[in-house]
Structure 1
Amino acid sequence: MWLKVLLAALCVVMLSACNEEIQLSQGNVGRLNDSGIAIGHFSKDGTKLVTFDNQKQIQVWNVATQQVEFTVPKEKTPEFVRDVALSEDLKMLVIASESELAFWSLSKGKLVTKVAFGGVTPGAVITAMAISPKNDKAIVAMADGTINMADLHTQINNRFAPHSRPVQHVFWDDKGELFVTGAQDGKLALWKFGSAEPIFMKEFDHRVTSVAVRDDFSALFASDALNEQVVTSLTDGQSISELQYMSRFKVFRKALFIKGSELLATSSSKSHLSIWNAKNGEELGTWQISFVHDGATIVDMYAADRHTLLTLSSDGILEAWTLNALAQR
């Protein structure tokens, strides 16, 4: 009897080892720089990248050629950069400093305007921002939990404080009407622009560390700082699945729903990429990213479809991953 048990256990181990041998990485697409990336974001269509590196330089890149298309002059770079973003139409670069947004025209290569923002608490700094798809609105989140809902055309700003801690996650829907916020107070909420009443709000026991939203705004993923990672419907706030894994807990930094699939990609603080089935929470596998320095992490991810995933690491490495092998798991 004990022999049958041992053989069964060995089969499980062998199957697990075979699963781990599935190769997703196509290798390095390239390394953007040697100084490392502090903040990096792919454009909506994945053709461009904007980075803020450890030399305090802000640059816009062509992903296909890995060539710099625009660099913000050092003398016009804020002393403290809180966030950077490219507009959906790729015409504008937006830079968040501690107290204002700077709008740069990429076609003209010059600063267009600056807009100041604050919190309900004096001295509160910007912690996150997002520009609407039509470039007509901005959500600017603050360290004291304040949310600024700004109409950039009318210059009307509605300010309210639904959170008690820094807000670090903001996402727009594709119409520029709804947005999601996640904060260190553990609150995650869906809002309609102009209203201070949430459509729904979910509270975690610990701070929200990562958030991802489906492109069609049908669902979101959120993780707290300890052991709660859930996929939630954005139509009614009901839970769809909870991520399942063997270890006692995992750290989740970045997350991305893979278009046209039930796959969810997440990154850790230990140079790891994990892929999940978002429908049932099953972990499909975890792989190590390419890195130069210990502790390198994924700063952003992009997937145009269900076949290929691109990751950008804090080492400045672009890496491509083929997801087709996961269809059999």
Structure 2
Amino acid sequence: MRLFLKPLFVTFVSIALNGCFFSNSDDQRWELEPSGTSSLALSRDARFALLYSKQQQLVLWDLQESQPLAELGSQDQQTSTVSRIKISDNGRYAITASQTNFAVWDLAWTQAKGLWSISDGTIRDVDIANNGERVLLGLTNGKAIYVNLVTGRRMEFLAHREKVNSVALSPNGRFALTGGNDYNAYLWDTSSGQALHKFEHEQRVNRVALHRDGKYGFTSDGGNHAVVWNLVTGEEIAQLNSFSRQLIFSTARFSDDGQMLITGTPSSRVMIWDTQNGKQLDRFETEPLKDARPPRSVVYDAAFDHHGRVVTGTSAGIAQAWKLD
């Protein structure tokens, strides 16, 4: 009996330490694109989804009404594959990007404001401010570029020594958080280019996120070092508490009050964290694309809706809403 109970006890403790089982019971779902998507973004309140697929190109959905709002078409005349999409914090504008160019869209009028090309590097990540005029790009050449599309002002942040993998821009466009292959993330001022804080990691930084009010920042690397920072002091608030050997995230977003953080992975997983102590509060397993091998989906984006649910959008072309325990 002792020999039987010991491994059973170890298994129970392991499950308890790592949180509850993944839940596959969603509260609502939207089949956006049956063939899957190569990129997708949600608005902060999870009402709108902008997605790209080769079959339909760019399509804007209203998840609250459960219907597509507009077919925006291709990003450029070459119908380049859109690999990155971000919607501004206020939900009015969006930026879409291929490897070599990007477009800005006015979602209220469902039309493009312009198309711009990048010649000195490949685009790795993008973000956009609330006025739709200020954008941030992370490039393979180690540059993080901030551009005012109206005035033409361009700021190149050159502190990174290798590829810039992930970028985040404050809603007013004043501050940027960037992370790269040089094991570092920087919070910097887009008006001066001055680095305000440097956050060091032991591996390549692959995901960063900013709290909308500028209280907190988040950085994570290719290992299991994922940290919530106080952006005023530059001090660590909490490390995400997980016994996984790797915590590789494909997306991360703070709740409006900053007390929770949603993360998604390239392997279907969505996790909710307490930002003050790093504990995992809940987690879910998103639906994979039908007949996909392996049966996984990349979580492109996640957000909290007005019902307090977590809404996810994935490479399977499916959006799902989840109730928190």
TM-score by length of 2: 0.84
Cα pair 1:130 1:139 within 8 Å, conserved: yes
75-84 vs 210-219, greater mean Cα deviation: 75-84
Counterpart of 2:195 in 1: which secondary structure? coil
Q: Is the Cα contact below 8 Å between 1:260 and 1:306 reproduced in 2? A: no
Q: Which amino acid aligns with 1:230?
A: V
The answer (yes or no) to whether the contact 2:216–2:228 under 8 Å persists in 1 is yes
Could you tell me how far 1:65 is from its partner in structure 2? 2.6
Query: SS state of the match for residue 247, structure 1?
Result: coil
More divergent stretch after superposition (235-244 vs 166-175) = 166-175
Q: Describe how 1:318-329 pairs up with structure 2 within 5 A.
A: 318-323=319-324, 325=325
Tell me if 1:251 matches 2:252.
Answer: no
Measure how far apart 1:263 and its partner are.
2.6
**Alignment map for 1:1-329 (pairs within 5 Å):** 9=9, 16=16, 20=20, 25-55=25-55, 57-74=57-74, 76=77, 78-88=79-89, 90-106=91-107, 109-119=110-120, 124-260=121-257, 262-291=259-288, 292=290, 293=292, 294-304=295-305, 307-323=308-324, 325=325
Quick one: distance in 2 between partners of 1:257 and 1:105? 24
Once the two structures are overlaid, the 10-residue window that deviates more, 73-82 or 53-62, is 73-82
Q: How far apart are 1:211 and its partner, in Å?
A: 2.1
Are 2:155 and 2:190, in contact at CA under 8 Å, matched by a contact in 1?
A: no
Return closer, same or farther for 1:14/1:114 CA change in 2, 3 Å cut-off. closer
Shift of 1:152: 2.1
SS in 1 for 2:206: strand
Q: Is residue 59–residue 70 contact of structure 1 (8 Å, CA) maintained in 2?
A: yes
Secondary structure of 1:72 counterpart = strand
Alpha-carbon distance change, 256 to 93 in structure 1, aligned in 2, over 3 angstroms: closer
Q: What amino acid sits opposite 1:153 in the alignment? A: V
Q: For the residues of structure 1 that align with 2:183 and 2:40, how far apart are their CA atoms? A: 24
Give the structure-1-normalised TM-score. Answer: 0.83
Give the 3 Å change call, closer, same or farther, for CA 167–306 of structure 1 in structure 2: farther
Higher RCO (CA 8 Å, separation ≥ 6 residues): 2
State the secondary structure of the residue aligned to 1:71.
Answer: strand
- Unpaired runs of 5+ in structure 2? none
The letter for the 2-side match of 1:98 is Q
Q: Say if 1:117 and 1:148, in contact at 8 Å, map to a contact too.
A: no
Q: Could you tell me the percent identity over the aligned residues?
A: 23
SS in 2 for 1:236: coil
Amino acid at match of 1:303: F
Could you say what secondary structure the match of 1:141 adopts? Answer: strand
**Aligned-partner residue type, residue 85 of structure 2:** V
Superposition deviation, residue 201 in structure 1: 1.1
CA distance in 1, matches of 2:7, 2:186: 50
Contact kept in structure 2, 1:86 and 1:92, CA below 8 Å: yes
SS class of match (1:37): coil
Cα drift, residue 36 of structure 1: 0.6
Q: More deviation in 161-170 or 261-270?
A: 261-270
Q: Which runs of 5+ in 1 are unaligned?
A: none
Query: Which of these two proteins has the greater Rg computed from alpha carbons?
Result: 1
Residues 144 and 163 of structure 1 are in contact (CA less than 8 Å); yes or no, is this contact kept in structure 2?
Answer: no
| SS, match of residue 81 in structure 1 | coil
What is the distance in 1 between the residues matched to 2:256 and 2:110?
A: 32
